[in-house]
Amino acid sequence: MNQTVRSQFPILKTRTRGNALVYFDNAATTQKPLSVLSAMDTFYRTQNAPVHRGVYALAEGATARYEGVRDDVRTFINAAHREEIIFTSGTTMGINTIVQGFAEKFLKKGDSILLSDMEHHAMIVPWQAAASRLGLKVHFVPLGADGRIDTTVFKKALKKHRPKFVGLTHISNVLGSINPVREMTAAAHKAGAVVLVDAAQSAAHIPIDVQKLDCDFLAFSSHKMYGPTGVGILYGKKALLEALPPFMFGGHMIETVRRERTIYAPLPEKFEGGTQPVAEVIGLGAALSFIRRIGFGRIQKHERTLVSHMLNGLKSISGLTLLGPAKSTDRIPVFSFTLHGIHPHDLATLLDKEGIAVRAGHHCAEILHSALVPDASLRMSLGVYNTVEEIDRAIAALRAIQRKWRI
Ligand SMILES: Cc1ncc(COP(=O)(O)O)c(C=O)c1O
């Protein structure tokens, strides 16, 4: 299936620094297929109008398309109600919406929040800000020796800290490991906590069923799942979203505005203040169709091949230390590592010279990094269009760099 999939991504035919591009930075953002590009182009050329406001045909058409994507997202994550799907600007905004609303409405000085050492800054920083405003305590579950969260340790932390809220990443953007979110959510609920799942890294790789996971909230970004930037999804259980205050105040999220007071609109508009990113939502709809056409069965099968091939290749390089689990199970093709004798930033620059686009740094997960390596790591993150041949090129390039620089 790979050539058929690859041919849908024009950027993969381009060259960089004189070489065919190998794009291994998919955990940061994915490339976009023709169907997404053309859905947005068609929208702007022939369908563009504001949603929910005009009575003219163009506006009604735009509204129908925009709301149609909400139905598609509901199906994609198996939410019970369409009002539980909120369009945001991305995972970061989704998390901030919940953290601010929940903290303001339900938390008081001394209350505890439980996160993990694996969290992206998008989960940690909003809670730290809320904690300093309200006097909350933020606790972290440490990683196990294999770089996974040990559910026994997690359950002990629940018992010890009695958190009101638990924030969990579904899949680590550094280690690629899939957390047992269903089991962890059940344990958190038993302990009386509300659970927010950060699904930024899962939406493109594994099927998400919010009813099965039973999480209270879940957030993800379109641009990490072959859709455009500027739009994301926040899911929340209806009763909880109804109980939370809005995050963004202004037009569109109101029912009536008087000098004395404003009555907010019902869900989902209550959380969609301002002019919506309509073309981006349409692009997201096309990205969902792209994923649906391939199917998670084939995506996961292909990505399992990529995982095994990359793990074998990385293991064959001396002086290479992989962060996190070295087993191919319960993980996606995201690999962070260090190579003895060379800083990850220098290594990334040398790989770029070979046309291989990778990421170096702490990947917005400084707490995780400080638990595993002193500084930065190099991350290769793959998606549905990547191939074993590209992995071979990357492994050969790593070997050549070692030889040339005698490291
Ligand atoms: C696990 C995780 N959470 C949250 C985010 C933030 O996503 P965004 O920048 O699209 O809001 C990212 C992005 O790298 C991520 O990998």
Digit-coded pLDDT (tens) for 188-203: 999 999 999 999 999 9
Number of the ligand 1 atom closest to the C-alpha atom of 364: 14
Asked if 339 contacts 317 with a C-beta cutoff of 8 angstroms, the reply is: yes
Q: How far is the CA of 362 from the centre of ligand 1 (A)?
A: 13
Residue 342 has pLDDT above 80, yes or no: yes
Any idea which residue has 């058409």 for tokens?
A: 61
**Which residue's structure tokens are 């056409």?**
293
Count the alpha carbons within 13 Å of 13 in the hemisphere toward its beta carbon: 9
Question: Measured from the CA of 172, which atom of ligand 1 is nearest?
Answer: 1
> How far apart, in whole angstroms, are the C-alpha atoms of residue 202 and residue 356?
23
Contacts of 157 (CB under 8 A, 6+ apart): 114, 139, 141
Pair 19, 261: CB distance under 8 Å: no
Peptide bond into 268 cis (omega under 30): yes
DSSP string, 303-357: HHHHHHHHHHHHHTSTTEEE-S--SSTTB-SEEEEEETTB-HHHHHHHHHHTTEE
DSSP string, 40-96: HHHIIIII---TTT--SHHHHHHHHHHHHHHHHHHHHHT-S-GGGEEEESSHHHHHH
Contact criterion met (CB below 8 Å) for 381 and 25: yes
374 pLDDT more than 80: no
DSSP one-letter string for 229-279: TT-EEEEE-HHHHHHSPPSS-STTSEEEE-SS-EEEP-TTGGG--SS--HH
Give Dmax over CA atoms of the chain in angstroms: 73
Is residue 215 part of the annotated active site? The answer reads no
Ligand 1 atom closest to 91 (CA): 11
Average pLDDT, the chain: 97
Residue 1: pLDDT band (50, 70, 90) is low
Residue 144's pLDDT is what?
85
Interval between CA 60 and ligand 1 midpoint (Å): 33
Q: Which of 22, 171, 347, 364 is catalytic?
A: 364
Amino acid in position 266: P
| pLDDT, tens only, 288-340 | 999 999 999 999 999 999 999 999 999 999 999 999 889 999 999 999 999 99
Residue 59 alpha carbon to ligand 1 centre in Å: 32
